[in-house]
Amino acid sequence: MKNRISTFSLMSQLFFALILSSCHKDYSPEIVVLKKGNLQVNMVHQVDGKALIFDSLTYTTSLGQHYMVNDLQYFLSDISLHELDGSWLEITDSAGIHYVDAETASSCQWLISQQIPAGTYDSIGFVFGLDKEANRSNRFPDPPERDMFWPDILGGGYHYMKMNMKWKKVGMPETMPFMFHIGIGQIYSGNTANPDSIIGFIQNYFSVKLPAVLRIDNNKSSSVEIAMNVDRWFDGQNAFDFSLYPMGIMQNQLGMYRACRNGMQAFSVQNAIPN
């Protein structure tokens, strides 16, 4: 039995070899070398279309609340490039995860080391934050990513975003800190945010797909500039009222939900520059 099978397979291999060699005789196929280029993603941060200025109480929300931004750090992940025909390419460089600190220029410029097939792409997609699978506790032992950790009792993994701010409205004598922090949300059985009454968690990450005419040329490097329009986090469909969340929003799913609904509109492609 054993012998018979191996004889059979030997025969069939010979047969294939014959076919292949006969092919070679008839055609000399052109060897197609895939044309590939590089892409650099540049993040810029803006308020009302102008570069964000840190530590200065110069901004006002649609609700008339004044704010300043002190720190802005976040994760982008699952970056993908989409073609007109609906196919897409996923970036797997650094597991597709990129950490941005808006005050650290090097982190705002991500040169993707992965080679990208040349062609024209019509949109760029990413996940704001980390998706459920990527958002594993202790995956980043080193700073700065480490300092984004989200306590295990509150769902674990990492802050998708830390925007540390101060705000003020009419009648308030001083600016007050506000931690615009987003990550995994919790559902509490009671009406207080007591971690012992957590009955479930909510993945608050969201996908963004931005139209962009993006050309990757062979052996060349292209860049795309993505803007986070910081004001959109507060002035979207759910005008964000800082005074509603005296304790922050990490343990307030409604607050994070409203923030994320706005955040979905916070990104835009500024420029896509081939070469």
Q: How many residues bind other proteins (CB under 8 A)?
A: 35
Task: Give, in order, the Cα–Cα distances in Å from 85 to each of 120, 122, 150.
Answer: 11, 9, 39
Min dist CB 248 to other proteins, Å, is: 5
* Shortest Cβ 40–other proteins spacing (Å): 25
C-beta closer to other proteins: residue 82 or 162: 162
106 binds other proteins (CB under 8 A): no
The stretch among 8-16, 33-41, 188-196, 201-209 that binds other proteins (CB under 8 A) is 188-196
- Structure tokens of 225? 């500039």
Q: Which distant-in-sequence residues (6+ apart) come within 8 Å of 273 by Cβ?
A: 222, 223, 224, 225
Q: Is 147 in the site for other proteins (CB under 8 A)?
A: yes
CA atoms within 13 A on the CB side of 51: 5
**Footprint (CB under 8 A) of other proteins, residues 26-45:** none
166 binds other proteins (CB under 8 A): yes
**CB closer to other proteins out of 139 and 215:** 139
Are the beta carbons of 155 and 250 closer than 8 angstroms? no
169 touches other proteins (CB under 8 A) = no
Figure out which of the listed residues 107, 175, 238, 270 binds other proteins, where binding follows CB under 8 A. Answer: 175
| Contact status: 86 vs other proteins (CB under 8 A) | no
Minimum distance of other proteins from residue 180's CB (angstroms) = 9
Contacting other proteins within 120-139 (CB under 8 A): 137-138
